[in-house]
Amino acid sequence: MKDRKSKIFLLILCFAISLGMIGCRAAGTSEPPLDSDPFLNPDKNQGGNPQSSNIIIEAGVISPVEKAMTLEYNGSPVTLEYQFKSSGTCTMGLMIFVDGFLQPYQVIGSAQETTMHTVDLEMDDPKSFQLEFIPVCGNVGETLTVVFANVYQAKVLELSGDVNTFGNYQKISQPHPWHLEVNAGLDTKSKNISSLYQTKPFTPEEIQSFERSGSDGQIRSILDDRIYLDICKNDEVLREKIVIRQDDVFEIRAYGNLTGKYRISLYGDFQQIPINGYEYIEVDVKKDEYVSIPLTICLEDIVPYKNMFAVIAPVAAVSESNTYTELSKSDSLYLIYNE
């Protein structure tokens, strides 16, 4: 079983997965440089070379310090202290999901609630902040899943030119979930949730296309112990930018072998926006199948924004295969109107 730590190195694969293929990104000339993945461990991926240009991010709860990675709601707001540390200059943001729902919180000392607090980091200069929240869901006696989602370069990008890429901007890490024990009653608002989606089986050829040969000669599937999320149109996974017209129909796809219940939400410039009129789509991810959700874009909902992405967050901390579930994010898309 994976080692559970309250302060961890956060891992993200630095390649983009589409249905049946791996897509490479081309770096444009008008956007930030394509950095090495900030969530990779340099000892494993860069040989620990101090001259590497990698920016390595450490993030996690530093108080309370509990080996069980468990918080408690006892009638007062849940409080904790969170810390970011970076080996280079960057901006980090924190989003919190409780049982798949986006959790608003308040940074102590701030007058307003937020769904993503950001900090500007310098090399090896850790910054911590205290926060508190009242869970958005839960009943007495329940244990909820809490995911602290760390957003690298949490900035809205305005791009130009024929070829653009977000590089690693807006990439979200996939840490182990925490638990939240509900020991007191909550006055929670009902959520606007849909369970309208389809599941479609992968063909044997598609399943085979996910297989890779390891250095030991063993064949493994890149679907194992992972969950993926894509925004598509006409069976094509969208990368980098998207042309938006009234009533365009796209598709959200979720797949991977971390099977179980998840909730999918959509964001414009880090603000939650509706999916077909709903806050969340609740789905069951199954082995060797993919979830398909038709997505009708309403210009009224999306026109104020420049960037768009979707997030899939777990309801349960452990999957049906008895491994830890994870949060995943689609590629960020730059929105182009009236083209």
Q: Is the dihedral of CA 96, 98, 101, 104 positive or negative?
A: negative
pLDDT in tens, the chain (339 residues): 434 333 333 333 232 222 222 222 222 223 333 445 555 543 333 233 333 347 899 999 999 987 789 999 999 999 999 999 999 999 999 999 999 999 999 999 999 999 999 999 999 999 999 999 999 999 999 999 999 999 999 999 987 666 567 888 999 987 789 999 999 999 999 999 999 999 999 999 999 999 999 888 899 999 998 999 999 998 899 988 888 888 788 999 999 999 999 999 999 999 999 999 999 999 999 999 999 999 998 888 888 899 999 999 999 988 877 788 899 999 999 998 865
Q: Give CA angle at 242 (241, 244), nearest 5°.
A: 150
Contact in structure between 15 and 40 (CB atoms under 8 Å): no
Task: Report the distance separating Cα 124 and Cα 293, nearest Å.
Answer: 42
Question: Which pLDDT tens digit goes with each residue over 116-128?
Answer: 999 999 999 999 9
CB 242 within 8 A of CB 333: yes
> Strand 105-107 and strand 113-114: pairing?
antiparallel
Residue tagged 């900090």 (tokens): 119
CA distance 78 to 64: 11
Q: Give the number of residues written for the chain.
A: 339
In eight-state DSSP terms, residue 278 is B
| Cβ neighbours for 71, distance < 8 A, ≥ 6 positions apart | 64, 78, 80, 146, 178, 179, 180, 181
- Residues 88-146: pLDDT tens digits? 999 999 999 999 999 999 999 999 999 999 999 999 999 999 999 999 999 999 999 99
Please report the pLDDT score of residue 17 as a whole number. 25
Give this prediction's pTM: 0.84
Instruction: Kindly tell me the sign of the dihedral angle through the C-alpha atoms of 28, 32, 36, 37.
Output: negative
pLDDT value of residue 50:
31
Beta bridge partners of 295: 250
Element holding 317 (H helix, E strand): none
Q: What is the pLDDT of residues 193-224, one digit of tens each?
A: 999 999 999 999 999 999 999 888 899 999 99
DSSP string, 100-132: TEE--EEETT-SSEES-EEEEE-TT--EEEEEE
* Secondary-structure breakdown of the chain: helix, strand, coil percentages, each rounded to the nearest 5: 5, 45, 50
Contacts of 209 (CB under 8 A, 6+ apart): 20, 21
Of 328, 316, 319, 338, the C-alpha closest to 144 is: 316
Alpha-carbon distance 227 to 17, whole Å?
10
Cα separation, 242 vs 232, whole angstroms: 10
pLDDT of the residue at 72: 96
**Distance from C-alpha of 259 to C-alpha of 167, rounded to nearest angstrom:** 29
Count other Cβ atoms within 10 Å, centred on residue 310: 24
Phi, psi of 45 (to 5 degrees): -110, -15
